[in-house]
Amino acid sequence: AGLGEFRIRDLNDEINKLLREKGHWEFRIKELGGPDYARIGPKMLDHEGKEVPGNRGYKYFGAAKDLPGVRELFEKEPLPPPRKTRAELMKAIDAEYYGYRDEDDGILEPLEQEHEKKVIAEAVEKWKMEREARLARGEEEEEEEVNIYAVNDDESDEEGGREREGEEGQQKFIAHVPVPSQQEIEEALVRRKKMELLQKYASETLMAQSEEAKTLLGL
């Protein structure tokens, strides 16, 4: 390691050149019918008994393994933490997770009350400013309490309304459109049903005679 980075790289390159030349001779021996030393030969081990690390056929020996950029090639990335299953996640869920105990600590409620007072005060102040602005422009009129249930004497039967009285002490309501009674509704339904049956089963001649009879009777 004390030789320096450049000297270590040079020596490591020289060793790899010799290894390539050795590999060529082993391949040539195999071609001539000799043993396959690349397969049966002993593995190259370092001083710790581990196989010499390499990258794409290039080996790193001794201090070359600790050179900048080389160490990162052989560092294994840490395994990602195991993901929790749905059952394990559900174990930590309680009422507090859903917000049912947010006010148990006594901190949230006073903050909400304080914020509510602030918002109300701001709204009142805004209304006062708008009212003063309208008064300055002369647009403000006297506010009068209006009874929405009050009925004028002028509004009566001439508009075709019908009066419905409620219980004692309640206001009276007037319907200004004719409201049919239950009997009138039933009669209208019966007439409609008859017309549907006639249109479905009666012939055109019978329908014409029925219409003529109604005309004669003034119905």
Query: What are the boundaries of each domain within the chain?
Result: 5-74, 183-217
Distance CA 105, CA 99 (A): 12
Q: What is the mean pLDDT of each run of 10 residues along the chain (219 residues)?
A: 85 90 90 86 69 75 78 72 86 81 80 91 92 79 50 50 48 62 86 79 67 72
- What was the pLDDT predicted at 126? 92
**Which whole-number Å values give the CA distances from 2 to 23, 84, 206, in the listed order?**
30, 48, 124
Asked if 162 and 174 count as a contact pair (C-beta separation under 8 A), the reply is yes
Longest Cα separation, the chain: 131
Are the C-beta atoms of 22 and 59 separated by less than 8 Å?
A: no
pLDDT at position 159 is: 47
* 175 bridge partner residues: 162
pTM here? Answer: 0.32
- The packing angle between helices 204-217 and 182-201, to 10°, is 140
pLDDT at residue 48, rounded to an integer:
64
Read off the tokens for 82: 């195991």
Give counts: helices (H), strands (E), the chain: 7, 4
CA distance 195 to 9: 108
Residue at 189: amino acid letter: L
Q: Residue 8 burial (CB < 10 Å; 0-12/13-18/19+)?
A: buried
